[in-house]
Structure 1
Amino acid sequence: MSYIELSLQIDLDFNEIMMAELAELGFETFVETEDGLEAYIQEELFEDLAVKNMLETYAERTPISYAFKQIAKQNWNEEWEKNFQPISIGNDIYVRADFHEPQPNYLYEIIITPKMSFGTGHHETTSMVMEHQLTIPHQDKKVLDVGTGTGILAVLAEKLGAKYVSAFDIDEWSVENTIENIALNNTSKIAVRLGTIEDEPRDKYEIVLANINRNILLQQIPSYATFMAEGATLIISGFYEADIADIQAVAESVGLKKVAQLSKNQWASVVFKS
């Protein structure tokens, strides 16, 4: 099976949002590099014009250069291992791969399988959501994780005491990766599936998590609100500080109130209450 490799030179702050955008276009494997990102898609799924149009949209925000080439399938896991380093989030969370040494001095240690799914905690958007999670009681709460990626937020939710987590993603690779990470972390209260918010079974949750991107959030926040119980919390990220006003306007239009905010390197994460 042949693949198309996209070699992308871009500000590293854009890497995680690029992975999310490219995943929506069918890319299934990502390797972060010193000057950007390498992304891979099965040749038969590759749509040249769709990818170029997406990249040109972001070129309005930051300098981008890119190139495509056809390659044979390779050992993605080996490539990923070369780039993944453990990180700490605050004083309480340590995120590592299974080949790193444990750090028992942290309250919450999360193990992420060395694969290329979106969301390892390294990007500001993921780490800020996790910081918010630390401030919100999860004990015996039901949690909805929208666009779970690696499952890192769902795993943290269970470690913080959630009694049930529903997690889903549109990407098969992410769902497979999340299932592996659930097992690695000995978490048993997370149900993961392939799909979207539109086909999520109707239920009410005390906490909703969504680390995606600006456009999807603007479109889907009204849907998230329908899954929130009275007094529930919505934690979102994947957008810039400059986007907060637009995000907040949509949230307030469906009765949500902003209660907290974090910003790092121009990225933002906001907490709303129903």
Structure 2
Amino acid sequence: MNYIELEIQADSDFSEILMAELGEAGFESFVETDERLLAYIPETDFEETKITEIIGRYQEITPIVSSWKSLERKNWNEEWEKSYDPIEVNNQVRVRATFHEPNPDFRYDLLIQPKMSFGTGHHETTWLVMNEQLSLPHEGLSVMDVGCGTGILAILAHKLGATDILGFDIDEWAVENTLENFAMNGLPEEAKVFQGTIDGVATELMFGGILANINRNILLAEISKYNAHLKPGGWLVTSGFYETDQADIERCAEENGLKKVRSNTRNQWATVVFQKI
């Protein structure tokens, strides 16, 4: 599957609102620099008319220049290397690419080679989830990563002490990339990744922690399924939605017997941690 890279040059004050609008239009990941905003969407989901409408709403108040192109698998690495910078979380986690030198000041060094920029840490929700992971127990737990992307959250779970890891994603690139990143970060061969959804997880498998950085609609439809795989006392981290959707996520979780532990926001995106009572 190919992806569309949309490049937008606009005043940085408009980056957040443009990302929010593009997120509603189906764009799955973003890379923001001082000069431009890059947004990515599967080619099959791309509708140029939607982009024209979004940009048109803001061009009357600020200059915006945009362009887009199709990215094939063969040229993705070259594209993201042009703008990828290491990501730092709470002075403890550093996510870097293979062409960055390690920094011993950070306790957790995560190495990734993304095929696509899902979960590189640039998106607010990935940062939010990693930040929450630092305050959650992982030692000796089985952890499931829902919609694993690059596998970055599962890798951090392993570095925090999780002993059994299971990840899955509907995207072929994501599964391939996660396996590659698992190997680079020294995860054991027992760490599993498959292409599919929560319905592909064996009924008897139970987890002490579940990471679900997806989106509002999938969370609302699947929280009950996550709960069925969560051990009593286990934690569930949800993200991938806006602050305005947080109440719906909390209501759904509580209806399924989950207790809210805490929540956090970052540039209009939200994360909520729940515990199974």
TM-score bracket relative to the smaller structure: 0.7 to 0.9
Q: Which residue identity lines up with residue 181 of structure 1 in the other structure? A: N
Contact 1:154 1:190 in 2 (8 A): no
- Identical aligned residues as a percent: 46
Partners of 1:69 and 1:8 in 2: CA distance: 9
Partners of 1:181 and 1:20 in 2: CA distance: 29
CA RMSD of the aligned region, Å? Answer: 3.3
What residue number does 2:191 align with? Answer: 190
Corresponding residue pairs, total: 261
In the alignment, structure 1 residue 260 sits paired with structure 2 residue 262:
yes
Q: TM-score, normalised by structure 2?
A: 0.82
Partners of 1:20 and 1:86 in 2: CA distance: 27
Q: Where do residues 33-52 of structure 1 align in structure 2 (5 Å cutoff)?
A: 34-39=35-40, 46=44
In the alignment, structure 1 residue 121 sits paired with structure 2 residue 152:
no
- 1:20/1:97 Cα in 2 relative to 1: closer, same or farther (>3 Å)? farther
How far 1:91 moved relative to its partner?
A: 1.5
What residue number does 2:171 align with? Answer: 171
- 1:185/1:35 Cα in 2 relative to 1: closer, same or farther (>3 Å)? same
What residue number does 2:148 align with? Answer: 148
Contact 1:20 1:118 in 2 (8 A): no
Q: Which residue identity lines up with residue 250 of structure 2 in the other structure? A: Q
Partners of 1:115 and 1:246 in 2: CA distance: 33
What residue number does 1:138 align with? Answer: 138
Q: Deviations over 1:220-270 (max 9, x none)?
A: 111111111111100011111121111101001110110111111111110
Contact 2:114 2:150 in 1 (8 A): no
In the alignment, structure 1 residue 99 sits paired with structure 2 residue 99:
yes
Partners of 2:177 and 2:100 in 1: CA distance: 18
In the alignment, structure 1 residue 228 sits paired with structure 2 residue 230:
yes
Contact 2:169 2:194 in 1 (8 A): yes
- 1:106/1:248 Cα in 2 relative to 1: closer, same or farther (>3 Å)? same
Q: Deviations over 1:17-45 (max 9, x none)?
A: 8499456xxxxx98767443354756xxx
What residue number does 1:238 align with? Answer: 240
What residue number does 1:26 align with? Answer: none
What residue number does 1:218 align with? Answer: 220
Contact 1:117 1:174 in 2 (8 A): no
- 1:69/1:192 Cα in 2 relative to 1: closer, same or farther (>3 Å)? closer
Q: Which residue identity lines up with residue 124 of structure 2 in the other structure? A: E
Q: Look up the SS of the partner of 1:83 in the other structure.
A: coil
Partners of 1:17 and 1:205 in 2: CA distance: 34
How far 1:187 moved relative to its partner?
A: 1.3
What 5-or-longer segments of structure 1 have no aligned partner? Answer: 24-28
What residue number does 1:206 align with? Answer: 208
Q: Which residue identity lines up with residue 259 of structure 1 in the other structure? A: V
Q: Look up the SS of the partner of 2:122 in the other structure.
A: coil
Q: Deviations over 1:195-237 (max 9, x none)?
A: 0111222211110101111111111111111111111100011
How far 1:7 moved relative to its partner?
A: 2.6
Partners of 1:107 and 1:178 in 2: CA distance: 22
How far 1:105 moved relative to its partner?
A: 2.1
Q: Deviations over 1:100-154 (max 9, x none)?
A: 0111221100001043241011222111101111111101100010000000000
How far 1:190 moved relative to its partner?
A: 2.1
Contact 1:30 1:116 in 2 (8 A): no
Contact 2:115 2:174 in 1 (8 A): no
Contact 2:30 2:122 in 1 (8 A): no
Partners of 1:71 and 1:120 in 2: CA distance: 18
Contact 2:126 2:213 in 1 (8 A): yes
Partners of 2:187 and 2:157 in 1: CA distance: 10
Q: Which residue identity lines up with residue 257 of structure 2 in the other structure? A: G
Contact 2:5 2:70 in 1 (8 A): no
Q: Where do residues 75-86 of structure 1 align in structure 2 (5 Å cutoff)?
A: 75-86=75-86
- 1:191/1:260 Cα in 2 relative to 1: closer, same or farther (>3 Å)? same
- 1:98/1:216 Cα in 2 relative to 1: closer, same or farther (>3 Å)? same
Partners of 1:121 and 1:141 in 2: CA distance: 23
Q: Which residue identity lines up with residue 134 of structure 2 in the other structure? A: L
Q: Which residue identity lines up with residue 167 of structure 2 in the other structure? A: A
Contact 2:93 2:110 in 1 (8 A): yes
